[in-house]
Amino acid sequence: MRILLLLVFNLCIFSDIYSQDSLVNYQKREFSGTRPKIGLVLSGGGAKGTAHVGVLKVLDSLGIHPDYITGTSMGSIVGGLYSIGYTTDMLEDMVNSTEWSKYLSNNSQFKTINMIEKESYKNYFEFPVYDWKPNLPQGAIKGQEIELLFNKLTISVAKDTSFDDFHIPFRAVAVDILTGKPYVFKNGSLALAMRSSMSIPSVMDPIKYKGMLLVDGGLVENFPVQECIDMGADIIIGVYSRKLVDLYIEPYLSDRNAANFDEVIPNMDRGYEAAMGKIDNLVKLKAYIDKFPQATIDTVIFKDSVYVSDHSIIFDNNDSTLEHIIVNNYGHKDGEYTHSDQIIESIHYLYGTRLFNKLTYGYSPDLQDTGVILDYNVVNTNNKTFLLSLNYKTETKVGVNVGFRLRNFLIPGSRFEAKFRLSENPGVKVQAFSYLRKNVKHGFDATYYYRTAKIPFYNEKELIGEYSSHFHRWSTGYHYFAKTYSDLYLGMGHERMYYTRIIDLSSFSYPKIVDLSTYFNLYFQKNTLDEKYFANKGTDWKVETRVYLRNNSRYYIPKDTLDKYPDMDEYEADTTFGNIKISFEYQNFIPINKKLVLINEFNAFVGTGYLYSTWIGGVNPEEEYQIPFWGLAENSIMASNGAFYRIGLRYEFIKKFYISGKVNLGFIAEDVFDILESPDDIYGEYSSIYNLENYIFGGGIRLSYSSLLGPISVSVTKSSMSSAVWWHFMLGYSF
């Protein structure tokens, strides 16, 4: 819908291209004395507007330097940056290297989402709740990331209050949607002007400024030529409009999509070609201008830091609930020079807590000092949210995931979240979390987790036995977040796992098995992936140590056996103390090019005391006690020690459609202390690294699609353990 609105909007603003006034011939006018002033007018047009960069490259190469620039929408961005001294090479690099899909969306950078929030992020459709009634989620783009980008790009003019003080005087045009009148930015924040001028109605949130609601200037004035004349321009060069121009340049872009920023390089090339098509007229203009005395062109010195003399925090709707969190965690110090990256990093750190719906910054002049006032602009997140998603997996069947999240209840910076999986295999997760005091680097949680699953036993593909598992965990612990993408955790927990027999494995099998354990655990995790699903780059790794205070396993005897031997105990018990389990998991995504990604994954776990707590198999396991293995059904093997390596490639053959291939190798040992024993030895048979039967090999291919409902994938896999071929289907987000 956003793309459709964008196309209709741009169709309207370009409809007057061929109905403008006739060209004005500057050579028929008389100029005396000083050199005639050249004005450059850059129209809007979304991604098409990147063609302006190609036009500027030709003007630069000829030595034609505009004296004034005006722009609307994308024209305000290209023109604004050029006016403060960006070279055409710098503009080309900026346009080409910017991930516009990231900046023109409400999706946060996954890397910057706090680790405690990463689990639920992008797993649910989130509906804000007002007066205990769910509402539709926000559709328009808030502009969080694009505003941070614009402030970074324009930091060198943070202290300039007048656009006439720029390297080239500049004007940007927006429209007050309340009155329908244009607003011309001639002073203040250049970043704010650029953001306001590109705010397409219903696609991006309007900007609140001086009692106005500002949107894209293209609604009223897509080609601000009169503004350029009013600044003092004598000769007008216009791009993509003929109105009152002396030299008109029209890149051929009718076959381009204004919403497609994947075409920015071809668009810049089209702009260059169009300007080269006017090379004779441009050369004549240069020769004509050279007849007059020439002005000196100043050298621009770019700055990447600014002296912050003071700061302010501006809350939307005057809701200052979280002011103490911002004050104690922002990344600058008053009275010092502050780098733009330092400011953005601290904002990402705060925004990654998801306590804020929007958190940006800007600059205003400090009339009492030589520096600037750093203004934090804050919109707190909605405190109540309803969560909903759908999920289907071959192993867990269809499910509906619902939940409720409550923030800042009783304690500012706290979060209570309850999630439920309504399915043949239901689940529950309830978590209370709060940052400790005022510092978001420290947090404390208390969590209850319940999940059911099927544990199948196969002979080839014939199901010969099955257990139903019921897993409960109560845990609590302390988190230290040095960065948004890292988590050091120290806690304790109690787990109960119940296995109930559904299908007999043999003439004698336990109808019920119960495992009880209490433990302390310490882990460190670092996740720098750029996306939660279909990551292209980054690493996610975790190392964990658990010290079990007590393990108790109970194996219940079949009823017919108890009837036959009435003196037999109801269950066999095995209790151990002080067992240790160490686990390591690793994922790495390396982009080979824009469409092909190399994937490396590794899992290893070792433990004492035969801790059979890890299940192997499947391509889409969701639980932390599960390890994927392409070629096995999910939960096919239970192991106490093992190591598994997977390597694969993923190729995006059509936008959002992927094909993947993976191979994996695994080693399983019953006792870690016997891995070097001879395979012929009774101790080494099931643990020795020299016994090939302790290794498994497998692989497969997967076809995936990134849909609005979540990932959709179909996989076919096979392993060395049998001749069976396994099909796996998944739709939707995980629980």
Give the catalytic positions in this structure.
73, 216
DSSP code string of 11-51: HHHHTTGGGSPPPP-GGGS---SSPPPEEEEE---GGGGGH
- CA gap 209, 188 in Å, rounded: 11
Which SS3 state, helix, strand or coil, does residue 155 take? helix
457 contacts 465 by C-beta, under 8 angstroms: yes
HSE toward the beta carbon, residue 318, CA cutoff 13 A? 0
102 contacts 110 by C-beta, under 8 angstroms: no
Q: How far apart are the first and last CA of the chain?
A: 28
HSE toward the beta carbon, residue 653, CA cutoff 13 A? 9
Q: What is the 3-state secondary structure (H, E, C) of 89-135?
A: HHHHHHHHHCCHHHHCCCCCCHHHCCHHHHCCCCCCEEEEEECCEEC
619 contacts 661 by C-beta, under 8 angstroms: no
Residue 54: both structure tokens together: 């190609």
Q: Residue 423 CB: number of other CB atoms within 10 A?
A: 18
- CA gap 496, 516 in Å, rounded: 5
User: Among residues 653, 662, 647, which one has the least CA distance to residue 590?
Assistant: 647
φ, ψ of residue 474 to 5 degrees: the values are -115, 125
Q: Residue 639 CB: number of other CB atoms within 10 A?
A: 20
User: Among residues 646, 508, 634, 524, which one has the least CA distance to residue 589?
Assistant: 646
Which SS3 state, helix, strand or coil, does residue 690 take? coil
Residue 366: both structure tokens together: 């400090």
- CA gap 73, 270 in Å, rounded: 19
- CA gap 122, 110 in Å, rounded: 9
φ, ψ of residue 324 to 5 degrees: the values are -65, -30
Residue 203 DSSP code: T
User: Among residues 98, 105, 52, which one has the least CA distance to residue 249?
Assistant: 52
HSE toward the beta carbon, residue 232, CA cutoff 13 A? 11
DSSP code string of 521-538: EEEEEEE--S-SSS--SE
Which SS3 state, helix, strand or coil, does residue 392 take? strand
Residue 461: both structure tokens together: 């593909």
Q: Residue 442 CB: number of other CB atoms within 10 A?
A: 14
424 contacts 410 by C-beta, under 8 angstroms: no
Residue 592: both structure tokens together: 């080979």
- CA gap 78, 76 in Å, rounded: 6
Give kind and range of the element (H or E) at residue 281: helix 279-289
User: Among residues 323, 300, 271, which one has the least CA distance to residue 154?
Assistant: 300
Which residue is listed with tokens 């208390």? 446
Query: How open is the CA angle 264-141-435, to the nearest 5 degrees?
Result: 120
* CA-to-CA dists, residue 638 to 505, 641, 691, angstroms: 15, 9, 19
Residue 680: both structure tokens together: 């012929």
Q: CB neighbours of 455 closer than 8 A, spacing ≥ 6?
A: 466, 467, 468, 469, 499, 615, 635
- CA gap 413, 440 in Å, rounded: 8
